[in-house]
Amino acid sequence: MAPDAAAAVLGGEALDALGRVCDLVGGPVLDDFSTERARAVLREVEVLVTGWGCPPLEAAVLAGAPRLRAVVHTAGSVRAHVTEACWDRGIEVASAASANALPVAEYTVAMILLTGKRVLERARHYRATRRHDDWLGTSADVGNFGRTVGILSASMIGRRVIELLAPYDLDVVLHDPYVTDAEAAKLGVEAVGLGELFARSDVVSVHTPLLPETRGLVSRELIAAMPPDAVLINTARGAVVDQDALAEAAVAGRIRAVLDVTDPEVLPPEHPLWDSDQVLITPHLAGSQGNELRRLAELAVAEVGRWAAGHGFAHPVRREGLGRIA
């Protein structure tokens, strides 16, 4: 992994914990498999603990790692470094995606509730006027009682959002082509078509991985179908949404949006979404940061311990599931 990722995720305590469940190779973190030291390390290791910035584990790299049997990733997606050669070799893979899903789900639920109460707009108005509104005269469309929340994709994060929303008086609908009506019922939600999700929901929360078939999935037509003043929350990837159509709808004041991701990741300074009071843009902060990184390290340490003890991974990544995950 990149040295800064190692410093952030595998600090002193985490590294000590890892050293209690396996024999660690000493020295600086590897971030380049082509160096002489990396080649020497790869000849000996059975498990690689990886993270953000890990180079691809291509066939040539694996040829120099005859004992390698497992990869434990301290972040979410393994697409950038676990190659077809890894699967062909039968290397077992685990990921901390489930640990990273929780803060994203927490962010999402917080934004659903805050936008329902129109907290940001009303706080801005309060600061400007410095006086109370007539709270008994608050519009009936403000609040979270009985609102309809649409979840786009029962991904790992989407499922955590559904779980965290369970205690609230909300109607939750789901669109995911891989989830049956019966499975949706077990999750406590109603399965609906894609168009119906956008037409019915007061809030649509996007949790779809960016795949060739999901690029631009949230189209101009779907955005146009959203009820007036509805909210689009995107914590997935910016390119899943038709950003031009979203900007037009938001600037026109027809819908609101909370965007933790955009396309590109930092919008040009002149982009209209920056200046729209209908839009909150955050700097891709929903995922694990700060003390939340400890959760990633703890999961990785536990996975290495389980694997070393012969119990297998609790959070495996399967080759056959890659077509549906980020």
| Total tally of structural domains belonging to the chain | 2
**Parent domain of 200:** 101-281
139 and 251 share one domain: yes
Give residue 11's Cα distance to chain centre: 23
Q: Which of 284, 294, 295, 306 is catalytic?
A: 284
Residue 284 is among the residues annotated as catalytic for this protein: yes
Q: Which of 81, 159, 237, 256 is catalytic?
A: 237
115 and 148 share one domain: yes
Query: What is the gyration radius of the CA atoms in the chain, in angstroms?
Result: 22
Q: Three-class SS of residue 176?
A: coil
Give CA–CA dist 112/114, Å, rounded: 6
Residue found by looking up tokens 């803060």 in the block: 103
165 and 126 share one domain: yes
Sheet holding 190-191, edge to edge: 190-191, 171-175, 148-152, 203-206, 231-234, 256-259, 279-281
269 and 306 share one domain: no
Give CA–CA dist 61/85, Å, rounded: 10
pTM of the model: 0.95
Give residue 78's Cα distance to chain centre: 13
Give CA–CA dist 257/261, Å, rounded: 11
277 and 160 share one domain: yes
CATH at residue 77: 3.40.50.720
Give CA–CA dist 140/230, Å, rounded: 14
Residue 200 is among the residues annotated as catalytic for this protein: no
Give CA–CA dist 33/247, Å, rounded: 43
84 and 106 share one domain: no
Q: Which of 79, 265, 318, 319 is catalytic?
A: 265
Full pLDDT tens readout for the chain, 326 residues: 999 999 999 988 999 999 999 999 988 899 999 999 999 999 999 999 999 999 999 999 999 999 999 999 999 899 999 999 999 999 999 999 999 999 999 999 999 999 999 999 999 999 999 998 888 998 999 999 999 999 999 999 999 999 999 999 999 999 999 999 999 999 999 999 999 999 999 999 999 999 999 999 999 999 999 999 999 999 999 999 999 999 999 999 999 999 999 999 999 999 999 999 999 999 999 999 999 999 999 999 999 999 999 999 999 999 988 877 76
161 and 88 share one domain: no
Residue 73 is among the residues annotated as catalytic for this protein: no
